[in-house]
Amino acid sequence: MLHTKCPNCGGEHIEGFFEIKNAPIFSLVTVKSKEEALNVPRKDIELGFCHSCGFIFNRLFDTSIDYFTGGYEDQQGFSKTFMEYLTGISNELIEKYNLKGKTTMEIGCGKGDFINLLTNLNGGKGIGVDPAYEEGRQTNPNLTFYKEFYSEKHGNLKASMISCRHTLEHIHGTYEFLKLIRKSLDDSMDTVVFFEIPQISRILDIQAFWDIYYEHCSYFSAGSLARMFRAAGYEILNLRLVYSDQYLLIEAKPAAVPSTRTFDIEESIEEQKARVENFKVKIREQLDDWRQKLTALKEKGSKVVVWGGGSKSVGFLTNFADIGVIEYVVDINPHMEGNFIPGIGKQYKSPPFLKEYQPDAVIIMNGVYQKEITQSLHEMGVYPEIYAL
């Protein structure tokens, strides 16, 4: 199915500019056997650029598939580096919007880590909404979970802030989803809305192909996100990049009249089109360079592992699984250990595995964690060549 209209603005001038063939449709689900992993369906990706609003999305995304209710494993809270970041963001929001003792809600709460952290820090109550939440992952008595999709009725729960972290990029009908939240807040105009998502401008600038995978159907920049929020009836309070510019944060509230406030980091449609043109030229060089590196490691007989499971490893290995040099993916999340990468079939291992395996090279899927991971490797007596994306 080829989507011919932009899900953000309805524009019909969509230019396809990058394809990935046979990408696994899942990257976060837990798969218990190699056979099951290799049997995960595959579909093509074609990124399209909307010339009307600057939004980028997968024009071939199959909206008929259930990507959410089968369960997924996306926890990042086992990393000290990540928890320092998330705690800092949480405290900022609590102070800025006077959330002490208040009720907050998270749409797409996953296993409930963020809403649990926020509730512990603000001393209030928390509500998590996610059809894939697993009972027992959180034991905080101040939390209530709804194992369902967010709907207009959830606006009746009267939260002082609604957060939605790393969920919007998985949703094809982006504008309609944002309008749904806006409509649910008609009687709660003071509610703060906080979104955190990956941002596409960095991906385009450094040709980060490992951050392009099937479950991410929507790719936002500061400009395209802000334009959509204003069109959906919000006033933007803050818009910024964090986490080495990997994440885009937006804070907003419902607006009674159309908002006109803009922010310096909002790029123009023309600027984003120039990024797309540069990406089209440079991406082949990036892919060829990594293929040469991995082929050279294979020819030397090197033992190579990837550190960092989940979507990035799927995005990376989808392009190079045919080389056959990477046998294992390491992740500190204990819930991933022993599972297999969807579509790829490599097995997740916990870090202590490396003490015995003694890899010659470790490819770190997110350079933000390079210091933390390098320290862990050295503490285990493992001193490989390190590559960081």
Is the separation of the CB atoms in 163 and 175 below 8 Å? Answer: no
The DSSP call for residue 340 is B
Q: What does the CA dihedral 253, 256, 260, 261 come to, rounded to 10 degrees?
A: -30
**Residue 69 has what pLDDT?**
65
> What is residue 170's predicted lDDT score, i.e. its pLDDT?
95
Q: What is the pLDDT of residue 72?
A: 56
pLDDT tens track for 265-314: 999 999 999 999 999 999 999 999 999 999 999 999 999 999 988 788 88
Q: What is the pLDDT of residue 187?
A: 85
pLDDT digits (tens, 9 = 90+) for 70-113: 655 555 546 788 899 999 999 999 999 999 999 999 999 998 99
Q: What's the pLDDT at 75?
A: 53
Q: What is the mean pLDDT of the chain?
A: 93
Six token digits for residue 57: 């999305």
Please give the full DSSP string across 11-66, using - where no structure is assigned. ---EEEEEEEEEEES-SSS-B-SHHHHHTS-EEEEEEEEETTT--EEETT--TTS-
Give the pLDDT confidence score for residue 76 in this predicted structure.
58
The whole-number pLDDT of residue 334 equals: 83
The answer to whether 309 touches 348, Cβ cutoff 8 Å, is yes
What pLDDT is recorded for position 17?
A: 98
- Mean pLDDT, range 203-225, rounded to an integer: 96
20 within 8 A of 314, measured Cβ to Cβ? no
Instruction: Read off the pLDDT of each residue in 54-62 and give the average, rounded to a whole number.
Output: 98
135-146 residue pLDDT tens? 888 889 999 999
- Report long-range pairs for 67-70 (Cβ below 8 Å, ≥24 apart): 67/25, 67/26, 67/170, 67/215, 68/130, 68/131, 68/132, 68/149, 68/170, 69/131, 69/132, 70/29, 70/132
Host H or E run for residue 385: strand 385-388
Considering just the CA atoms, what is the radius of gyration of the chain in Å? 21
Return the pLDDT at 207: 97
Give the mean pLDDT of 319-330: 92
Residue 342 scores a pLDDT above 90: no
- The DSSP line for 130-182 is -TT--TTS---TTEEEE-S---GGGGGG--SEEEEES-GGG-S-HHHHHHHHH
CA distance 69 to 384: 39
Interval 141-160 mean pLDDT: 94
- CA 313 to CA 149: how far, in whole Å? 27
Domains and CATH numbers, the chain: 301-388 (3.40.50.720)
- Distance between start and end Cα atoms, the chain: 32
What pLDDT band is residue 7 in, cutting at 50, 70 and 90? Answer: very high
pLDDT band at 337 (very low <50, low <70, confident <90, very high): confident
pTM of the predicted model as reported, rounded to 2 decimal places: 0.93
